[in-house]
Amino acid sequence: MNVFSRSLAVAAGRIRGMFNLNDPRWGRGDDKNEGQRPEGNNKGPKQGPPDLDELWRDFNRKLGGLFGGRRGGGFGGGGNGNFQPDMKSAGVGAGLIAVVVVVIWMGTGIFIVQEGQQAVITRFGRYNATVGAGFNWRLPYPIERHEVVNVTQIRSVDVGRDAVIRATGLKESAMLTEDENIVEIKMSVQYRLNDARAWLFESKNPQEALVQAAETAVREVVGKMRMDTALAEERDQIGPRVRMLMQQILDRYKIGAEVVGINLQQGGVRPPEQVQAAFDDVLKAGQERERAKNEAQAYANDVIPRSAERL
């Protein structure tokens, strides 16, 4: 590369020297008599403006010298300095230009991948390779392209919408329990990508596929619970069970995502609005029954020992 740079610098200097417009000899004839003493009345060279024909002939001579050209015979048998380039030298110049263009084009394939990212390289639209962080190179466009994917970023998607299904009059978040009751569940799924190639190529819409996997998993988990346990005793078990089952579904379909966590939103597990009031009454009655039971047990624990002492 240093030899190439020096060659370009020498060539540029040569061109500047040959085509220096400040040279007073431009347009004043050939410079072969330079240094000879003037004849006759010892007058110096003409100081008038340069002749246009002489300017053109000087330009042809210098250009011919640059490309190794030669002067062709002019009209009337005289040489008029017309430039006839040497085809070999012209080919070398064209080849040099082509090499520079190719080097610049190949340089456009250099790209940088940051930490925590992966780059997927495609060749004519088909997957070719996955590269990690650092300096990388691919064949330039349009042969190859690359797409950078962040594989450490924690992403989130909500599951359980409030949109009402006309056919049933229930929300999309409504799910059937084991005892054939209905509960509504809202949750958010945290995930990150673990396979950039799979995320980009295994599914047409990977995020929608992830949402469907979450809905399938939560429906299966809730479908194996009774309504009262889903709303109370086993409510905290819904998230871990959904996460495990959802990851199995994603791995089966090669989505390229890893489930980090399942968070049930506030009020995320509840009965439908149509029966919310009745359920609250039942829940309140159950709480009162439990309170009365505890009070009776405490009374018994206090009275029975004292009665035993009297006996």
Domain boundaries, the chain: 1-28+51-72+81-107, 109-150, 155-271
pLDDT tier, 108 (very low <50, low <70, confident <90, very high otherwise): very high
pLDDT in tens, 159-218: 887 777 777 767 778 888 998 888 889 999 999 999 999 999 998 999 999 999 999 999
Q: How many CB atoms lie under 10 A from the CB of residue 275?
A: 12
- Alpha carbon distance 9, 220 (integer Å): 75
Give the CA count within 13 Å in the CB-facing half-sphere of 102: 6
In whole angstroms, what is the distance from residue 75 CA to residue 69 CA? 19
Average pLDDT of the residues in 53-69? 62
Residue with more model confidence, 244 or 9: 244
Q: Are strands 174-176 and 117-123 parallel, antiparallel or unpaired?
A: unpaired
> Rounded mean pLDDT of 107-133?
92
Q: What is the mean pLDDT of the chain?
A: 77
Q: For residues 184 and 160, what is the distance between their CA atoms, to the nearest angstrom? A: 8
Which segment of 84-88, 104-108, 126-130, 213-217 scores lowest on mean pLDDT? Answer: 84-88
Encoded tokens for 128: 């070719």
In one letter, which amino acid is 106? Answer: M
Q: Report the C-alpha gap between 177 and 234 in whole angstroms.
A: 13
CA–CA gap between residue 311 and residue 260 (Å, rounded): 63
Contact 253, 203 (CB under 8 A): yes
Architecture field, domain 155-271: 2-Layer Sandwich (3.30)
Q: For residue 162, give every residue at least 6 positions away whose Cβ sits within 8 Å of its Cβ, in sequence order, or none.
A: 171, 172, 173
Q: Are 114 and 133 in contact (CB under 8 A)?
A: yes
- Segment 20-48 shows an average pLDDT of 51
> What does the block give as tokens for 57?
């002939």
Pick 66 or 175 by higher pLDDT.
175
209 CB-side CA count, 13 A: 19
CB 27 within 8 A of CB 52: yes
pLDDT bracket for residue 89 (50, 70, 90): low
| Segments in the chain forming alpha helices (H) | 2-18, 52-66, 87-107, 196-201, 206-222, 227-228, 238-252, 276-310
Kindly tell me if the per-residue pLDDT of 82 is higher than 60: no
Q: What is the distance between the alpha carbons of residues 44 and 33, in angstroms, rounded to a whole number? A: 13
Please state the pTM of the whole predicted model: 0.60
